[in-house]
């Protein structure tokens, strides 16, 4: 169950006057049925933070916080029928405007700084995918495994702020490398991906468009070493050796003979 003290602190970050102005703009409290817009917002956030699976879980969870409703700004816990009604009849526009208004205010208040990549002036993009489980009996089209349903969210984050710049939802079985080429990156940017995205044709396309990439090398990758650098200075930074390599075998046909850098780090081996 969610820690109510933490939950109330999260809610305190939301400017209530701003929220009231947005409620007035969207007139979302005009036809309320026992639950106002703020209680609706609290209920939906409670749903996510407590990993509730149903409106019954939300209602029962909030009801169990007897005596703590004032900390949440809620007069009384909503019933499951209240939550179902407002979810059906209230549009998402209020929460959408609230999100972008809060984002704008928080961005101005706490500008994101590259604490770990201060010396790198290029744009950095982080690319990854996540499995979103679904109930197969409800979403019979989302077949993932014999008894499980799922979709896959493919996401590209801009390191400056870690906000998504590209999102795509596919079948849960779609491999990351199949969707890697769905997004174009600006020339000179750095794309960071894990080993599941290693498709040498796509990496070759990134290189040909003036982009850089950082990833982990595949097990059994065939290559030859052109130059190898080792020093105490590198070792102090956790780098065992820094090699300039050239792919060989079938990988060479997809990526060509363009050189790559392969770094061996203390405790693990990373390809670049």
Q: Which helix (H) or strand (E) holds 249?
A: none
DSSP for 195-214, written as a single string? GGG--HHHHHHHHHTT-EEE
Cα–Cα dist 193/129, whole Å:
10
Cα–Cα dist 68/78, whole Å:
14
Per-residue pLDDT at 67? 59
Last residue in a domain, options 50, 82, 109: 109
Which of 249, 252, 259 minimizes the C-alpha distance to 225?
259
Neighbouring residues of 236: CB distance < 8 A, sequence distance ≥ 6: none
* CATH code of the domain in which 152 resides: 3.90.350.10
Model pTM? Answer: 0.65
Query: Are residues 249 and 204 located together in one domain of the fold?
Result: no
Cα–Cα dist 4/42, whole Å:
12
Query: Are residues 140 and 207 located together in one domain of the fold?
Result: yes
Per-residue pLDDT at 269? 46
Query: Are residues 167 and 129 located together in one domain of the fold?
Result: yes
Query: Are residues 100 and 126 located together in one domain of the fold?
Result: no
Per-residue pLDDT at 175? 92
Query: Are residues 53 and 98 located together in one domain of the fold?
Result: yes
128-180 confidence digits (pLDDT tens): 999 998 888 788 888 888 778 899 999 999 888 777 889 999 999 999 999 99
Query: Are residues 119 and 98 located together in one domain of the fold?
Result: no
Cα–Cα dist 127/9, whole Å:
31
Sort residue 200 into left (φ over 0), alpha (ψ -120 to 50) or beta: alpha
Below-50 pLDDT ranges, the chain: 269-272
Per-residue pLDDT at 202? 93
Per-residue pLDDT at 19? 94
Last residue in a domain, options 92, 109, 126: 109
Query: Are residues 82 and 137 located together in one domain of the fold?
Result: no
> What is the residue range of 128's domain?
114-215
CA distances from 165 to 24, 45, 138, 152, 156 (A): 31, 24, 30, 17, 6
Residue whose entry in the numeric block shows the structure tokens 């407590």 = 50
Query: Are residues 121 and 55 located together in one domain of the fold?
Result: no
Query: Are residues 68 and 154 located together in one domain of the fold?
Result: no
Number of domains in the chain: 3
227-252 confidence digits (pLDDT tens): 999 888 888 888 888 999 999 988 88
Per-residue pLDDT at 268? 58
Per-residue pLDDT at 271? 47
Per-residue pLDDT at 114? 60
């Amino acid at each position: 169950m969610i820690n109510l003290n933490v939950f109330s602190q999260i809610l305190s970050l939301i400017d209530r006057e701003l929220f009231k102005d947005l409620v007035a703009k969207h007139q979302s409290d005009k036809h309320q049925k026992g639950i106002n817009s703020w209680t609706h917002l609290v209920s939906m956030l409670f749903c996510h933070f407590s990993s509730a699976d149903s409106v019954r879980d939300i209602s029962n969870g909030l009801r169990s916080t007897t005596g703590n409703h004032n900390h949440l700004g809620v007069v009384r816990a909503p019933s499951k029928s209240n939550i179902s009604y407002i979810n059906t009849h209230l549009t998402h526009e209020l929460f959408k405007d609230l999100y972008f208004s809060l984002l704008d205010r928080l961005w101005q208040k706490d500008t994101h700084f590259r604490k770990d990549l201060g010396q790198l002036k290029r744009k950095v993009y982080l690319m990854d995918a996540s499995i979103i489980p679904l109930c197969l009996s409800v979403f019979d089209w989302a077949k993932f495994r014999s008894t499980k349903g799922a979709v896959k969210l493919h996401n590209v984050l801009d390191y400056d702020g870690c906000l998504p710049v590209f999102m795509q939802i596919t079948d849960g079985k779609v491999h990351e490398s199949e969707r890697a080429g769905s997004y174009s990156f600006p020339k000179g940017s750095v794309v960071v991906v894990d080993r599941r995205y290693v498709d040498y044709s796509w990496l070759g396309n990134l290189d040909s468009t003036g982009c850089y990439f950082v990833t982990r090398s595949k097990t059994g990758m065939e290559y030859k070493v052109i130059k190898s650098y080792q020093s105490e200075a590198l070792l102090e930074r956790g780098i065992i050796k820094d090699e300039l390599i050239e792919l060989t075998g079938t990988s060479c046909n997809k990526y060509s003979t363009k050189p790559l850098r392969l770094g061996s780090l203390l405790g693990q081996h990373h390809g670049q």
